[in-house]
Structure 1
Amino acid sequence: MSTTQVKPAQPQEASTPQPASHRSKLMSWEQIRTALPGMFKKLDPRLQWHNPVMFLVWIGACLTSAIAAAEPFIGGPQASGGTQVPVSFTAAVAIWLWLTVLFANLAESIAEGRGKAQAETLRKTRTSTPAFIPEDYDQLQDPGALTVQLREVSSADLKLGDTVVVSAGQLIPGDGDVIWGIASVDESAITGESAPVVREAGGDRSAVTGGTRVLSDRILVKITSRPGETFVDRMIALVEGASRARTPNEIALNILLSSLSIVFVAVVLTLNPIASYPASPASLTVLIALLVCLIPTTIGALLSAIGIAGMDRLVQRNVLAMSGRAVEAAGDVTTLLLDKTGTITYGNRRASAFAELTGVRRETMLQAAVYSSLADPTPEGTSIVDLGHELGVDVKPDAHSKVVPFSAQTRMSGLDLADGTSIRKGASSAIIAWLQEDGGQVAAVQAAELDEIATHISVSGGTPLVVASKQASGRGEILGVIHLKDIVKEGLPQRFEQLRAMGIRTVMVTGDNPLTAAAIAAEAGVDDYLAEATPEQKLHYIRREQEGGALVAMTGDGTNDAPALAQADVGVAMNTGTSAAKEAGNMVDLDSDPTKLIDIVAIGKQLLITRGALTTFSIANDIAKYFAIIPAIFVGALPGLQALNIMGLHSPASAVLSAVIFNAIVIVFLVPLALRGVKYRPMNAAKTLGRNIMIYGLGGIVTPFIGIWLIDQLIRFIPGF
C-alpha cells in the first residue's frame, strides 16, 4: 500500500482483449478438439445422473460391456432354433451405447466450449488493477479539486461503497456509478464496440463497468459490487454455463422424458419371457438395445445443448441473460412494452416547420426561434438553427447577450439580448407561465390560436415548442410555434405486424401527451400506448397485464425504470443505464439498443421451437425402431411377426445393431441444428405446431427407416451378421 499525490495518469501499456461479442463458426474442428476432454470427463456417473435419459443409456452401456467381457467364459449367445448370434454382437452393441453417451456429452461440451472461448477474452479484463481511494473524500468541498492524498490499493481489495478516482488512461477497477465528473470510456472489451462512450454523474448514463478504460478527463466512481460479483464475473460464469440453472420448461420436459423412460423400462422387462433369446446373455443385450432405442435419447442428449446454445445466441448479439429462465420467458412473452424515443422513433426530433401567430411577421418569428436555439447543443436545437439557415435566417448575438440554458425546472431555454429583450422557447404551459410573471398577460386571441396550432401539431404526431419574447418593460407576446417531428424507424410497422401474427401485443410507452402518443402509435402500428408515463404508471400497467395472464417484456435504463424492470417477466436493462436498472433487469443489452428487445423475443421463441421440434423428431423415431427391433426379438417365438420386417433387414442381429447405430449417429447429425436452432418464422402457435409436425414429425418417421436400412446394407457384409 502506498500514498501518492494526484496527477494525470499516463496511458498504460496493455493489450486490448478481443471483443466479447466475437462470433465464431457454428461448429469448427477446433471447437470439437477443445470439447473432446469434456466429453470424456462427463462420463462420471455423478454428472450423468442429472440427465435421467442418458443415465439409463450409461447403465445399459455398463451392463452390455460386462456381458461382452463375460461371454468368452460362459459361451457365445445363441438364438432359439439354433441360429448362431455373432460373438461380436454384444461387444458391438456395448461400443455403440458408449458412443451414444459420448456423442451426447460432445454436444453439451461443444455448446459450453463456445461460451468458454468468450469467457477467456473476458478474463483478460478481470486482471487486478490499481485503484486510488481519496483519504479524506468525505471532507472535500470540491470533489473535482482532489487535493488530498490518494491511497493505492488493488482492485481485489475494494469494498462495496468505496469511492475511487479514475483518470485518463487508467482502467476502472470495479463496477460502479460516476458520482462526479464526465469522461469518455472505452468499453470495447465488454461490448465489442470500438467507439468510446460518455459516462457522467447523474442521469441515466452514470454506470461504469470494471475492466473498461477511461480515455479522457477524470471521474469519481462509487463501487457498487464486491470482488467476484462484478458484471464481468457474472458474464464469465453465465457464458461458461457454470451457473446455468435448469429452466422450468426444461425441468418439466425432463420429467416427461423420465416418465416415458420408466414406462419403456417396465414394458421391456415384461417382454423378456417371450423373447427369441431366452436364458442367454443375448436376451439382456437385445432388451437393453430395445430400451435404449425406444427411450427419447435424441432429445435427452441434446436438451442441455439447446439451452446453452440459446443463451450463447444472446451473447453473440451482445445481450447478457442472467438466467435461462429469462430466455425461456422471452419466448412466451405476450405483451411487449417499448419506449418511444430511440426504439420506435430515432429519438432525435428535428424541426420541420415554423408557424407564426396572426399579426407576427414571419421574419421576426424565424429570428427569435434561431436566437433561442443558438446555445442549445441538443439535436433539436441544432435542427432549429439548421432549418432557420435553410430559410435564410442568419443572426448572431452580440457579446453582451446572455445565454439561458434549458433546465428541468423552467422547461425553457433562450437568450437575453443586450437591449433588454428576452427570447424563450419551450413547452406551452411553461412559456405562458413565464409571460404571466409579474402581472403579465397573454391575449385571449393569442392563447386560443396557440392552442389550435399546438393541437394540430400534436395530433399529427409532432411536438410543439412555443417561441415568445418579452421586452424590458415586461410586455410580452407569443410569436409562434416550432414543429418538432419524431421520425418512426423504417420497417417497424412490418415487424409489429409479425409480432401481432405471433400473438404478441405491442405497447408504446412515452412521456408525450396523449394526442402526440396516439399519432405516433398509429404511424408505427403498435397495438396500444401509455402516454405521459410515470414510473408508477409503468409498474401498474405491467401488474395489470400480468394479472390478466400475460407475460410482459420491457426495456429501461434509468433508476426510475428499476421497479418496472424488476416486475416484468423479461426486463432488459441498457448497459449505459444505472446500476439500479441493471440489477433490476434479468437481461442486459451491452449495445444499449432498445429495439433489440424484438430480437430477444425471437431468440426465446427459437429456443422453445427448437426444443419442441427435436422432441417431436425424437419420439417419432420410435416407429421405425419398432419395425426394426420387435420382429428381431420375437421372430423365434412368433414367426408371423416376420411380416413386420418391412425394411427387409438382413438378420435379427443386424436389425438390432442397425437401430442402435442409427440411434447414436443421429445425435451427431442433429448437433448443428441444436446449436444453430430451428429457423424461426413469425406465426401463431397453431401454425408453428402444424409446421413442426409436418417437418420434424414426418421427418422423424421417414429418416430412421432410410437410415436403419442403409446401415443394415453395410452390416450384412460383416462376417457372422
Structure 2
Amino acid sequence: MPGKSSAGKQPRQHTDHDGHEGGGHPANHQDNTGMNQGVMDHSRMDHSKMDHSQMNYKGMDHSKMGHGGHDHGAMIADFLRRFWICLVLSVPVVALSMMFQDLVGYHLDFPYREPLVVVLASVIYVYGGWPFLTGMIDELRIRQSGSPRPGMMTLVAVAITAAYAYSVAVSFGWLQGMDFFWELATLIDIMLLGHYLEMKSVAGASRSLELIVQMLPAEAHKVDGDQLTDVKVDTLTEGDLVLIRPGERIPTDGEVVEGNSAVNESMLTGESVPVEKKQRDRVIAGAVNGEGSLKIKVTHKGEDSYLNKVVRMVEEAQNTKSQTQTLADRAAGWLTLLSLSVGLITLVVWLVGGKEVSFAVERMVTVMVTACPHALGVAIPLVVAISTAISAQKGLLIRNRTAFEEARKITVMVFDKTGTLTEGEFGVTRIQLLKPDDEASFLGRVAALEQQSQHPIAQGIVREAKKRNLTMPTITNFQSITGKGVSATVDGQRVVVVSPGYLKEKGIEQPHDAFASGVETVVFVLINDQLAGYVALADKIREDSKEAVQRLQQSGIKVYMATGDNQKVADAVAKELGLDGVYAEVLPDQKVNVVKDLQKQGQFVAMTGDGVNDAPALAQANVGIAVGSGTDVAAETADIILVNSRPTDITNLVEFGKATYRKMIQNLFWATGYNVVAIPLAAGVLYPNFVLSPAIGAVLMSASTVIVALNAQLLKRSLRSSNP
C-alpha cells in the first residue's frame, strides 16, 4: 500500500490553495475554469469534402484490389455489380457443364456447347476475377522485411487461375479429364459476394463517422454590421460573428456575445439536459440551439472544432494497428504461405500416388480456396470499427487503440482528486472572524483579491460573494506571493489571503478549529499582519465516484489517489470512497514519480486526470485517461479521452476494453480454427469417403467469415447494453 505522502516528503499542512498561478495559489491545483469542456479545438476541416469512405480498414486492404483510385463506397458498388453480372453468366455455365449434369442427372448438349462454356467462363474469370488478379500483383509488390508478402488476394487469384487454366487445357484436348468451369464460376461468385458483404459490414460499422460529420450544417448566417449573409461554414474565420436562430444547429465553435438560450449538447457530450448559454459562454459546433437566438463569435474554425476532433480521433483509433491486429496479420501471412505449400504438396502427392491430373489439380485448387484466410483478415477490423464507433457514441474517445485493448491488464488505477473524483468546484462552507468585523465586508475584501485569480478555490470565494450581492472594494498594489497566496491594499489596509503554509512560515499559530472538518480546504486572511479570520471551502465528491471505485475494485484493480491537497483532506476523501491508498501533497511534476514507483513494483498503471497539470503522469502511465474534453494537452498526452467527467465512464472504459479484446480473440479462434479443420479435408485426407469440392470449400470459407462478422455484431449488443 502506498505511503500517505509523496516519496521523501513529510506530510505538510498545506492545501490546494497553496500557490496557484496568477493569483498566488498552488500551481499543483488544476485550473478547471480554463478547461473548456465544449472546446476541443479542431474545425478547419472542409465537411463538404470529407470522404470517410476512404478509411483504411486494416486487415482488409481493399485499396489493393485493383481499385486503388476509387473510394470505399464505389468499391462496394463495384463488387456488387461484378457479382450480379457473373451470377447471370454462371447460370448457363453451370447448366451446360457435363460434370454438373452427371452430378444432377440430366443431359443437355448441342453443337458449340463447349466453346460457348469456354467463352462465358473466360468472361467470368477476367471480369469477376479482376479484383483478385490485380490484388495479387499488388500484394506481391509489397515488401515486408525485405520479402514479398502474399495474402488473401494471392490465394484467390492462384486458385481461380489454376482452375481456369486446367479447364481450358481440358476443353482444347491438351489434357485428359473433365473441366470444372462450373466450380470456377461459382467460386468467383461466392468470393465476390463474400467481399461485398465484408466491405459493407465494415463500412456500416464506421457509419457513425459520417453521421457525426452530418451534424454540422453546410451554411451559417454571418453577421456583418447590419447585414446578414448565408455563407459556407468552411469560409468562416476566427472572430466572425454568426447568428444562430431557434432550433438550428450551431455551425462552429464559438463564444456567445449576445442572447440567451438553452443548447442541447447531448449528441456531443452525452449531457441529456440542455445547457443554458449566455454572454461569454462557449458553444460547440453540432449542438442544437433551443428557443432563443444567439449571436456568437467564431473561436475555432474548421478542423479545430470539438466535433471534428471526435471524428479524427475515431478515425485514428480505427486505423491504428494494435498488437492484436499485428498478430492477425502475421497469422494471415503464415497461413497464406502454408496453404500455397500444402496445395503444391497435395498436387505432388496425388500425382505420385497415381491419381489423374484432374483429381490432383482439383485437390490443390480446393486447398488454396479453402485455406484463404479471409475470415482472419476481417476478424479484427470489424471488432475495431464497432468498438471505437460505439465508444465514441458513449463519450469515450479512443486515441490509442493499443492502450484501449490493454485496459484489461490494468492492476492499479491512480486518480487525480479535484475535478475527477470531486466536482472541482469549491463552495464556501464556513467563514470564521477572529477580529471584530462584519462578515459581509470581510468576505467582500477577500473576494476582491481572489477575483484576480482563475483558480477553483479563488473562484469559489468570488461566487459566494456574488451570490450574496456583496460589493467588492477597489484594490491596489496587488501582489502574488509565490506558492503561498495573494496580497493587496484595501481601504488603506494591507490584506493578505494565504495558505496554512504561510502561517507556519511566519510563525503564526493556526486556530485550533480551522481544520475541524477533514474535507475542507482553508485559506487564512491577515489584515495589517494580524490574523483576522479564515474561509473554509469544500470540493464536493461526485455522486458516482464511490460506485466507480467499487466497480474497479470488484474487477481486481487497486484504486489510489494522487493529489496536491493536504493530508487531512486527502485522507477524508479516501476514507469516504474506500480507496486502497493515498498520495497527498504531491506537486504535478511529482505525480509522474508516483506512477513510476508503482510501475517499478510490477503494476500495470492507469492514470486518470484532467490532462493539464497531470500531463506528465498521463504520458508516463501505461494507460493515460484524460477526464474532460477541453484541453489540447489532454488530446496530446492521454491515450483515452472521456467527453464527460463521470468516474463511472472510466470503469465502463475498462470493461469496454476487456470486452473488445475478448471478442478479438474469439474471432481469431473462429478464423484460424476453421482452417485447421478445412485444409486437411480439402487436401483429401478422407478420400474416398469424403471429397471437398472447390465450390463447397468456398461456401465453408464464406461461412467462417459470416460467423466472424456475426460474432463481432454481438459486441455491438453487449457494448450498447452497458450503461456508461
Normalised by the size of structure 1, how large is the TM-score? Answer: 0.60
Q: How does 1:307-456 map to 2 (within 5 A)?
A: 307-322=384-399, 324-331=401-408, 333=410, 335-345=412-422, 428=500, 447=510, 449-450=512-513, 454=515
| Aligned residue number for residue 86 of structure 2 | none
Equivalent residues of 1:132, 1:166 under 8 A apart: yes
Q: In the alignment, residue 701 of structure 2 is paired with which amino acid?
A: N
One of 517, 520, 534 as aligned partner of 1:457: 517
Equivalent residues of 1:337, 1:506 under 8 A apart: yes
What are the ranges of 5 or more consecutive residues in structure 1 without an aligned counterpart?
1-32, 80-84, 134-146, 385-395, 637-641, 643-650, 682-721
Query: Which one scores higher on RCO, CA 8 angstroms, separation ≥ 6?
Result: 2
| Aligned residue number for residue 667 of structure 1 | 705
| Aligned residue number for residue 239 of structure 2 | 163
Q: For residues 188 and 166 of structure 2, what CA distance do their matches in structure 1 show?
A: 13
One of 306, 326, 330 as aligned partner of 1:255: 330
Q: Kindly tell me: are residues 351 and 222 of structure 1, through their superposed partners in 2, closer, same or farther at Cα, counting changes over 3 Å?
A: closer
Q: In the alignment, residue 357 of structure 2 is paired with which amino acid?
A: S
| Aligned residue number for residue 58 of structure 1 | 156
| Aligned residue number for residue 290 of structure 1 | 367
Q: For residues 175 and 538 of structure 1, what CA distance do their matches in structure 2 show?
A: 33
| Aligned residue number for residue 582 of structure 1 | 635
| Aligned residue number for residue 187 of structure 1 | 265
Q: For residues 344 and 399 of structure 1, what CA distance do their matches in structure 2 show?
A: 31
Q: Kindly tell me: are residues 40 and 571 of structure 1, through their superposed partners in 2, closer, same or farther at Cα, counting changes over 3 Å?
A: farther
| Aligned residue number for residue 550 of structure 2 | 494
| Aligned residue number for residue 656 of structure 2 | 603
CA drift of 1:403 comes to: 12
CA drift of 1:625 comes to: 3.0
Q: For residues 578 and 297 of structure 1, what CA distance do their matches in structure 2 show?
A: 41
CA drift of 1:612 comes to: 1.6
Q: Any idea what the Cα deviations from partners look like across 1:337-394, whole Å, max 9, x if unmatched?
A: 3232454345567899x8999xx9xxx99x969996999999999999xxxxxxxxxx
Equivalent residues of 1:344, 1:524 under 8 A apart: no
Are residue 129 (structure 1) and residue 220 (structure 2) matched? yes
Are residue 111 (structure 1) and residue 189 (structure 2) matched? no
| Aligned residue number for residue 348 of structure 2 | 273
Q: For residues 608 and 469 of structure 2, what CA distance do their matches in structure 1 show?
A: 45
User: Secondary structure of the equivalent of 2:321?
Assistant: coil
**What is the Cα-based RMSD across aligned positions, in Å?**
5.9
CA drift of 1:47 comes to: 6.3
Q: In the alignment, residue 551 of structure 2 is paired with which amino acid?
A: R
Q: How does 1:497-576 map to 2 (within 5 A)?
A: 497-500=553-556, 504-542=557-595, 552-557=605-610, 559-562=612-615, 564-565=617-618, 570-574=623-627, 576=629
Q: Any idea what the Cα deviations from partners look like across 1:70-98, whole Å, max 9, x if unmatched?
A: 3872589999xxxxx8x76x634762565
Q: Any idea what the Cα deviations from partners look like across 1:292-329, whole Å, max 9, x if unmatched?
A: 43464432332321222221221221233345445345
Equivalent residues of 1:463, 1:483 under 8 A apart: yes
| Aligned residue number for residue 37 of structure 1 | 77
User: Secondary structure of the equivalent of 1:449?
Assistant: coil
One of 309, 321, 325 as aligned partner of 1:246: 321
Equivalent residues of 2:425, 2:460 under 8 A apart: no
| Aligned residue number for residue 652 of structure 1 | 691
User: Secondary structure of the equivalent of 2:711?
Assistant: helix
Q: Any idea what the Cα deviations from partners look like across 1:583-612, whole Å, max 9, x if unmatched?
A: 544544333445423322322232222222
Q: For residues 329 and 239 of structure 1, what CA distance do their matches in structure 2 show?
A: 18
User: Secondary structure of the equivalent of 1:511?
Assistant: coil
Equivalent residues of 2:627, 2:645 under 8 A apart: yes
Q: For residues 664 and 164 of structure 1, what CA distance do their matches in structure 2 show?
A: 55
Equivalent residues of 2:398, 2:641 under 8 A apart: yes
Q: In the alignment, residue 597 of structure 1 is paired with which amino acid?
A: I
Q: In the alignment, residue 520 of structure 2 is paired with which amino acid?
A: T
Equivalent residues of 1:582, 1:588 under 8 A apart: yes
Q: Any idea what the Cα deviations from partners look like across 1:192-225, whole Å, max 9, x if unmatched?
A: 64544478999xx96x5444467676665543x6
User: Secondary structure of the equivalent of 2:202?
Assistant: helix
Q: Kindly tell me: are residues 635 and 151 of structure 1, through their superposed partners in 2, closer, same or farther at Cα, counting changes over 3 Å?
A: closer
Q: For residues 571 and 716 of structure 2, what CA distance do their matches in structure 1 show?
A: 37
More deviation, 237-246/506-515? 237-246
Q: For residues 380 and 237 of structure 1, what CA distance do their matches in structure 2 show?
A: 35
User: Secondary structure of the equivalent of 2:564?
Assistant: coil
CA drift of 1:35 comes to: 11
Percent sequence identity is 21
One of 95, 104, 110 as aligned partner of 2:186: 95
CA drift of 1:475 comes to: 7.5
Q: Any idea what the Cα deviations from partners look like across 1:632-691, whole Å, max 9, x if unmatched?
A: 35746xxxxx6xxxxxxxx4256x76554333213213312113339999xxxxxxxxxx
| Aligned residue number for residue 122 of structure 2 | none
Equivalent residues of 1:129, 1:171 under 8 A apart: no
Q: For residues 628 and 652 of structure 1, what CA distance do their matches in structure 2 show?
A: 7
Q: Kindly tell me: are residues 315 and 72 of structure 1, through their superposed partners in 2, closer, same or farther at Cα, counting changes over 3 Å?
A: farther
CA drift of 1:259 comes to: 1.6
| Aligned residue number for residue 30 of structure 1 | none
Q: For residues 329 and 532 of structure 1, what CA distance do their matches in structure 2 show?
A: 30
User: Secondary structure of the equivalent of 2:421?
Assistant: coil
Q: Kindly tell me: are residues 233 and 261 of structure 1, through their superposed partners in 2, closer, same or farther at Cα, counting changes over 3 Å?
A: same
Q: In the alignment, residue 395 of structure 2 is paired with which amino acid?
A: N
User: Secondary structure of the equivalent of 1:457?
Assistant: coil
Q: In the alignment, residue 675 of structure 1 is paired with which amino acid?
A: Q
Q: For residues 554 and 630 of structure 2, what CA distance do their matches in structure 1 show?
A: 29
Normalised by the size of structure 2, how large is the TM-score? Answer: 0.60
Equivalent residues of 2:549, 2:578 under 8 A apart: yes
CA drift of 1:233 comes to: 3.9
Q: For residues 242 and 344 of structure 1, what CA distance do their matches in structure 2 show?
A: 27
Q: Any idea what the Cα deviations from partners look like across 1:81-122, whole Å, max 9, x if unmatched?
A: xxxx8x76x634762565256435523422322322551352
User: Secondary structure of the equivalent of 1:129?
Assistant: strand
Q: In the alignment, residue 577 of structure 1 is paired with which amino acid?
A: G
Q: For residues 599 and 408 of structure 1, what CA distance do their matches in structure 2 show?
A: 42
Q: Kindly tell me: are residues 56 and 301 of structure 1, through their superposed partners in 2, closer, same or farther at Cα, counting changes over 3 Å?
A: farther
User: Secondary structure of the equivalent of 1:336?
Assistant: strand
Number of aligned positions between the proteins: 567
User: Secondary structure of the equivalent of 1:95?
Assistant: helix
User: Secondary structure of the equivalent of 2:319?
Assistant: coil
Q: In the alignment, residue 652 of structure 1 is paired with which amino acid?
A: V
User: Secondary structure of the equivalent of 1:44?
Assistant: helix
Q: Kindly tell me: are residues 338 and 576 of structure 1, through their superposed partners in 2, closer, same or farther at Cα, counting changes over 3 Å?
A: same
| Aligned residue number for residue 620 of structure 1 | 673
Equivalent residues of 2:440, 2:470 under 8 A apart: no
